[in-house]
Amino acid sequence: MANFVLVHGAWHGGWCWKRVAELLRTKHHSVFTPTLTGLCERSHLLNPDIDLDTHILDIVNEIKWKDLRDVILVGHSYGGMVVSGVVEKMEKSIAALVMADAFFPADGQSSCDIDPMKPQILKARDEGVTALPPLPAAMLGVNEKDRAWVDAKCTPQPIQCFLQPISLTGARERIGKKAFIRAKDFPYAGFDAGMSAARIREWDIHEVPGGHDVMIDAPKQLAEILDRLA
């Protein structure tokens, strides 16, 4: 039995991991799916000061206060930024690290720096926007059956989360087990760059069918990959 901490991406919440979490629990794993500050059921906490550090602390405290050890830490999309920062603070508690169609930052980079949407994000910042509305599920390549559900669940994302650079010292590479999972049916340069960076560092590489929300489009395949890391 393993302890999984599954970190969602921008605009999403812990709800998006429901299918994967249920599959992992049938294998008797403990699964935690926290929602980051300002999103979804925590959207009442949305404010302009929420940034990447806020979300890193969300997950650090999830691990710390629940006394989790030998954690398999998974970050999806923007969650790749979050888990990269979490490992810096909780390295000894992490047994495996997984990036699922995620941004793979270098020291000093923000997600905006490596996102093809950078011009739109900077334009919104310059216009005084403090939270970006969610992208439509169709744009994320979500299967047609689930698009209405995903659109109904997503909420605005604090813009500072995209703009704040991350500080890394190499803890991410010291984790024993590391994997990058790429959604085959979602062409996106930012996540291709993440997969390339992981491959150069000799991470395990997996490709799964479906759109960007792999936990929704390919929960069985994703759960199988995660279970093998336990």
Which residues are annotated as catalytic? 77
Segments of 91-171 assigned E as strands? 94-100, 131-132, 157-158
Residue 106 CB neighbours (<10 A): 12
- The interaxial angle of helices 18-25 and 219-229, nearest 10 deg, is 50
Phi, psi for residue 117 in degrees, rounded to 5:
-85, 10
Cα end-to-end span (Å), the chain:
7
**Which pair of tokens denotes residue 151?**
């659109």
